[in-house]
Structures are given as C-alpha cells and as structure tokens.
Chain A
Amino acid sequence: MSSFKREKKEEEDGGGSPYQNLDKTIVLQEARYFNETPVNPRKCSHILSKILFLLNQGEKLSTQEATDVFFATTKLFQSKDVMLRRMVYLCIKELSKLAQDVIIVTSSLTKDMTGKEDLYRAAAIRALCSITDSTMLQAIERYMKQAIVDKNPAVRSAALVSALHLSTSVPDLVRRWANEAQEAVNSDNAMVSYHALGILASTRRNDKLSTVKLITPLTKYTLKSQYALCLLIRMVAQLIDDDDSEASTPYIRFIQSCLGHKSEMILYEAAHAILNLKKTPRDLASSAVSVLQLFCGSSKATLRLAGARTLARLTSKHPTAVAACAVDLENLISDPNRSVATLAVTTLLATGAESSVDRLMKQISSFVSEISDEFKIVVVKAIRRLCQKFPRKHQSLAAFLAGMLRDEGGLEYKAAIADAIIALVEENPDAKETGLAHLCEFIEDCEHTALAVRILHLLGREGPKSRQPSRYIRFIYNRVILESGPVRAAAVSAVAQFGAQRPELLPNIRVLLARCEMDDEDEVRDRAIYYNAILDTADQELINDYIIDVPKPNPVLLEKALRDHMANQSQEAFDILTVPTEELKEAKEDVVEIEVRNKPKLLSMEEIYSEQLARVPGIDKLGPLFKTNPPVELTEPETEYRVRLLKHVFVRHAILQFECINTLSDQVLEQVHVRLECPPEYVVRFILPCPQLAYDKPASVFVVIDYPSAYLDSLGTFGATLEFVVRDCDPNTGIPDPGEGYADTYPLEEFYMGCADQIRARAMGDDWEQTWERAANILEISDTYALPETDPGAAAKSVCEYLGLPKATIVGDAVKEIRGGGVFRGGAPFLVKARIASSNVGVTMLIAARSPREDVAQLLLAAVG
C-alpha cells in the first residue's frame, strides 16, 4: 500500500515529465542531434529546453562543454522554425557567459535583426548585444541606430534596452544615439517611450542643464506609460532636490498634479517623492500623507506595505506627520501580513508616547515568535531606542529583552539583544543592576563564544563600579570552570578588572587568578600570570595603564604600521602610540532603523585611502600614517572642476591629496599640478601631478609637505591654484583633438591646517576626573578667553571643532565643560579641560591643557585663542 502511495506521489510530481531526473551528460549527448539534416524543429527545441532547464537549475558546464553545445546550437540557424530560433537565442544568451568564441554567431544574428521576420528581430538584437563587446560594436552600430527608429515597437524597445546594457561598458555609445532616443520618448508605444526615457535619464545623470531641457516639455504632456511617468517623477524630484530656488516651482506643481492620477502606482510614486524631498513643500505634505493613509487601509497587502513602509521611513524626517497616522498604523498591528505588522509596530514604537509602550509590548510579544530573525532584530533595535527615549520604562523593557534572550534564535539576533541590554546598562544608571543581572543569567547558558566574550568584557568594565561587585565574580568565575578557552581567557580579564578597581576584593581575586595560572590553555595562563604580576606591583599608575584603561589601536592600521616597520628595518623601536586608536564613535544622529538592510563594511578614512596613498613615491619613508582628516571642498559645488582636499597627517609630514573631478565632457586636462602658497616654515617636498584628468573620472594630485619643526608654527592658511593644460576632446569618445592644448589655471579656495587636523581624540572613560588628577604633576598651561558666540552650548561646540574633539566630551548644562584628551601627531598625549559660561560681557572660557610637551599645550591654546 505504501509503495503504491509513493508511486502515486511520484506520478503526481513528475507526471512522466521529461524534465524529471535529467542527466547532464545524456542531455549534452543529445545536443549532437543538432547536426542532423534536415533539422527536426520540435525535437531540437525540446533538447534546447532541457539544456536551458539544467542551466537554470544551477547545473555547471565546463568551458569545453559549453563551447561544444554552443557550436552545435549554431547549426540550428538552418531551420526557419520561429520557436526553435527563439530558443536558440535564449541558449546563446545563457551560454555566452560560459563558452568561448561566441562571436561567430554575430553574422547570423545580424542577419536576423535586419531581416523581415518581426518575431526574430527584437529577440535577435537582444541576443546579439549580449555577445557583443566594445570592439565588435562598430560593426553593428549602424543597425542599432536603425533599430531604434524602427516602426515595430518591440524592435525599438529591444534596441533601446540593449543600448542601455551596453552603455555600462561603452558609455559614450549611447550618447551618439541620443537624438534617436529623444525621438523615441514621444512614441505612441508606452514601453518604447519608457525605455527611451530611461536611457536619456542614465546618460544625462551628471548634466543638469540637459536634464532640465529633457524634462520640461514632458511635464506638460501626459506620458502614456505609467512606468515612464514614475521614472519622470523620480527625475523631477531629483531636480527639485538639487535646486531649491523658485525655478523648481513648476516641477513641484507637476508632482502635485500626479497626486490626482487615477493609477495607484503613480499616486504612490508622487506621494513618496513629495515626502522624501529634502524640503517637503508644506502645502503638499498632508495630501501626500493622506495617500499613504488610504493605502494603509487598503484590502491589498502590497498597498498596505507600501503605505506602512513609507511612513516608517519618515519617522525621523516627519515625526508629526507619522504620529498623526498612529490610528492607521495601530490597525495594522494585527495585520495578517507579518511584514506589514512588524513595520507598523516598529514605527509606532519609534513615534509613540510613553503611555502606549506597555500595550505595544504586549502586542509584540503575541507574535514575536512567528517572525524571522531579521525582523526580530529590527524590533529589538526599536526597543533599544525606546529605552533611550523613556528611561523610566527600563524595568519592563529590560524584562522583555531578557525574555527574548531566553528564546530560540541565531547569533545575530542574540547579539542584537545583548547590544540593547548593554546600551541600556551604559546609558541608564537606574537600569544598570537589572541589566547586568540579566546578562549574567544569559552567559550561564550561552552557546555563542563571541557573545559570551563581549558580555564578560562588559561585566569587567561595569561590574566593579556597582554597589555589590562581589556578586558578579561568582558568575564570571563559573565561566572559568565551565567554558572553552576564549571564554575562560575573557573571564580572567574580567576578574582582573575587579581586582584592579576594588582593593577590598583584591586578596580573593589574587586567589582566583592564581588558580587560573594552572590552566591548560596558553592564553588563559598567560593572562592570569600577566594580571597577577601587575596587581603584585600595587603601582596604581601601572595598573591603570595596563589593566583598566588600555588603549586599543585600530587593528588594520596596526598591522600595516608593523609591516612598514619591518620593511624599513628601522633601528628605532616601534612606537605603538603613532598608530591611530579605534575611532571614537561620535554620538550618531538618531537614525530610526525600521527595516532589515544589508550593512556595508564600515571602514575608517585611513583604511579607505591607504591604497591610493601607496602610489606616492617615498611614502614608506614618512613613517606610519597618523590620521586622515575628512575631506574639505575647495570649489563651489557646481563648477567646471570640482576639487576636494584630504589632509593625510604623518609625524613630521603631511600629504595633501587634491581629489579633482572634471565635469566638462568636451575637455581633457593634462599635467594637472597644484601650486601651493604655504605659510612660512612649511616646505613643499614633492608634488605628484596627475597626468590626465578625463571627464567624470576622479583623479588626485598629491603634495607632500614638511611640517615646521616647531609645533606652534604649524597652524596656518594655505593658498592653492590648480594648473593644467586643457585639450579639447570629442565628448563621445573622450579622445583629445590633435594639437597642443593650452595652459590654464583655476583658483581654489584657501584652506587651513588647524590643531584639529593634527590631533587624534582618545576615548575618555567615566573616570576622567581621576585621569586629570593623575596628570596633576604634568605641565599645565591655562588662559581665559572671551568667545564671540552668545550661547555657551554653541561656543562649546565650536571649541570642540577647533580642537578636534568629539561633541560627546561636552558635559554640563548652564556651564558647559569640555573634558577631552588625545594624542598629538608624534605621539605626545594631552588632556584639555575647558569651562565655558555666559557672563554679562558675553561668553567666556577658561581653558587648561596638560601635556608633557609644553609646545603641544601651547598649540592647543593657540588654536582656540
């Protein structure tokens, strides 16, 4: 009986389908049948489908196999069968990526695309363009141009779309067909007009003027295609964003008119554009929001999702508008579509009031087990923001997070929850004890090593400061007994923190560490011995620098610096202070994250540019890179040449990188130099000119300068002029016209080498006071200044900017205090304390700088003075 059932099931599944259990070798054998004459179209077409099916299922062909099949397939051009021919095209497209010598079918395809059979032509163009490269293009260019103006819409569309694909590798190609494409925009066929507009949009992306020219007539004329209208709205919206003058009014009116369109697709496109403009016109916002509200109440899930998602993304931009939609969103909490429900919940969490938190949390817990990990992470992040927003709710929120921690879930999800609790612990002193208790409980039963290590680290940092530090030691030490090597090592470090910070616990800690000295794992043993030895000395400064507050260099840059050091075989000892430390995370703008998205890898400025810098000859002699400063624009945004400056700071030198972009398509700049007017004492050591600056391709000029020997002389203003030879060129090909060209210059804005450029701020912990006190015997300089600002807060911010300190170093309310510190290039550490208060004569500041190097301290004062 059971076997009968199975058979029946198989029958249902396959139904004797010829595609069931296909074998690659057999199918490839069958391809030999293509050589027989006359061709049997039906049979050959069937074999081709099998090959395509196999490829589609992910079967891999070797280059040889693919080439064999490809050549067999070309035999089928003999047959006139339309279906078979179309399948051949499909096969050519699929195999073109795998087989060799695919260009041999060019002539067959060219014949088809110019032939009489309409059913061939469109598809032949697309197949042809998939095997064509830039070298082959000239041969078929004429036909392509004709195809764009053909009377058959399918042929026109095929030619336009293929041209768009080709334009990624041969950008100037499509520009040569611009006139034909322009004409096609007004075609009666909706798709032709859409594709033509798409091509024009992509070729004129960087040319505002011609985009205006293209768009203006279209806004007055109703495009037939909905897709084209959507695209037009997108282009118009970009124009409005680029230009906030009166000139954009007709465009805004155009989008407004689209709000009355009968198609939902256009309605949505227009509403979305209005709400996402940099400056949403006030009179339109409400009608755009009401479109979204309408969508939220729709019976179609797609519309509800579109509405809810757009609202969700607006929470930080238009919080009041979103808050006004709270009722609509609340109706979506129990939506059968989980994506919609989650968006609604997170949006409400982001905008809601304190009073509604408990109710929302209840609703979330009812469905949290049913949603995917990614969405759970989003929910967790929303809760994390709630913790910041409503600190008083920490009890219930922490309990909820702890509940989620106990549930099933992957590492990322668990890490997100742990992050949320860690943030709670760090930000909210009231929640510290409960949060740490939840985490302690969690590591008792945590299968993720990385996560356990992080939590142990946190316990080591926060635990010693709590009222009853001893209770955490038990949890930590349990890990030493039960866990794997890495976790044990982390636990040892955490335990050592307690010993270093709480003298009353020291004897017990010493016992625990002594036990760990017998561990099987090298790392654990080493750490235990290391900490024990340092604790033995009872030297508070040593303990502070090597246990409590250890600077962490950026690992990527440390590796690079070490390599350079090895390569130079320098006699000097390696100085770790010259390596940039992990970047201080500036308190980020509160970006409300509603959805899951792919995160980019975050790179520091230094990592991004190190590759480009490597081109500068002699850079290895300059020593390790100390810091790369954020770019400064040296030209107005819409000029012929755009230049921005990056200051790469080394110990005794700086590399000025002038990143230039040429926005004129009919010019090529050659021998691009920068003439620099330096402040006194600066010396220009070397200039690496840029040999050629082509249209829209960024290239850089590098100038290596020596810093003045005295630190105080290093503050100053530079003047710069771009010098180059202009040669006119063909805007389509980029090939310069024959002839010499002429020399020209272009003035750049002045720029300043400030204190902030030469400083790396260091993270200062909560114990800043102690650090400051410990430095009491170090040289201190102080002075009082009157500041031009009227508000102490603004004044504090600008002082921070001058000194290159993060805004997070500002504390206090009425009287602002800046408590910062860092390292000057060359490695001299410093601490700064400034008190800023308003008095009857304006804002005054008392600033004190402590540094072992007097000139560094002086420089800091000079920078703000």
Chain B
Amino acid sequence: MSIIGVDENLPVKEVHAIYPTIDPKQHYAAQTFRGKVVLITGASRGIGLESALQYARAGASLALASRKQATLDESKNLILKELPNAQVITFVADVKDVKHAEAAVKGTVAHFGKLDILLANAGKIRAMDKPFAEKDPVGWWDTLEVNIRGVYNFVHYAIPELVKTKGRVIITTSIAAQLRVPTASDYVISKFAVGRLAEFIAIEYPDVKVFTVHPGTVDTQMSAEAQAPFPPVDPPSLPAAVFLYLSSGKADYLNSRYVSATWDLAEVEKDWKEKIVAQNGLVSKLSIPA
C-alpha cells in the first residue's frame, strides 16, 4: 500500500549508522558541551537515555525528566557508572502537567544556574490497529496532549532561560508528520503540529534555535508498543548524535525546520542548504498546484 506523503522527503543518501559528519567522538574529545546544561524529557529510556549519555560524554550537565523516580535513578546511575564526574539531576514529571514542567525547568536553573539546551523528547503512540472512531476518544486526545502539550509546557518555561543563554530547543518528531498512515491519525497530527510550533518558537524567539528531528525508526519500548509495520533499522545512537550535531551550531540553517536523522547531513549541507534557505524549505506549506 502506498502511503500518501512518502514523497515529502529530501532525496539524499539514507544513513542508518553514525558517519563522520555527526560522529559524537569529536564532541567527546573536545568536551564540546562542557559547561552546558541540558534538560531532557523522556530521559529514562530509549532515545532520551542514549541522548543523555552522549551529552554527558561530551561534558554536559544533565537534568533528566521522566515519570518514575525508579527508572530515572537507573538512568542516572548508568551515566555516573560510565562518567563518575558527570553532574546529573532528576525530576519526576509528566510532560502534560504544567506544574511539573515549571518545576523541572526552574529546578534545573536553581541547581545549575542556567539552561542551554532543551531536548523535548517524551512522546506517546497508540497501537495502529483501527480507524479512529472505533477507538477511545480520550486516548486519541492523550496522544496530542503528550506530543504537543508536553512539548509546549517545557518550551514555555524553558524559553526565558534559553533567551538568556541563546540556547536551543530540539524536539523529537517523526517522519510520520508527513505520512497519512491510516489508523495513526493522532500520532501523525501531533507530529505534524509540532513542526508548526517549531516555526513559531523561531519567529517569536529569534535568539533561540529550534529543530524538529525525525530520529529514524528506532527499536524502543514505545515503538514496540505501537506495533508499527516499519522494521526498526536505526540505532538510538544515530538520533542522539544528530541532536549533538545540531546543538553544536554546525547546522543553524536548519533552524525552525524538519530534519531527518536518516539523511546524510553532509550531503544536505553541500547540495541543499542554499535552496532550503532561499525557498524556506523543510517546513509544511499548503500545496498550491503549479
């Protein structure tokens, strides 16, 4: 079955493993993120945890936010076991909860004095099994609450801090944002919408850089629950490395835009950067026929 939207993609080489341009080893060696404070939601497992590890290896101080203290403790211990000098704090937070978001951001700043990078990574997906009217309407909305509101809440409180540090927001999106996959309306719409939210962050807060990143198809607990018909072919180290790459300021021409971790980003810069900037590409637009 041909899914509408698969053509809404850059025709560049696909990658499924670390490659030189984004290799995090350069950041580990240079301690690129020493002195930087990174707050990650959905940090207790999957892409969030791998990202925390990579930022920590590159010198960053970490604030991990997730729903359960037990899993947060495991994640923190994992980081400290590898990097005994790493600075890591944790916050129990449900991203949908405005107060939790406020406490996590303010707590991060209270402890570390500032915030440089927000990785709004926590997400939710439902099983892709039935047309939407046959499923629970509350569950449909819950996907949007986690994936849109959950991102918004943390962005809302992070922004005043990020303006001070000329910081960055990275949002874990999905290629699903472009794909009209039947039975996945809630997930698709939520990721579609955060792409537009990113444009607004960039417009209203030009001192803050923002990127929405498709992480690839990664084998995580969340993707397993989704029973999605897409085999996981990308390791979590791939999106994590791309987050570091984008955080390092090497691709600010992608500010406010959709980026896929599975694109060869060297090729994107070499062959597409000029056109992307000139034509305001990699954002969604109403398609007006030629």
Determine if chain A interacts with chain B.
Answer: no
Partner-B contacts on A (CB < 8 A): none
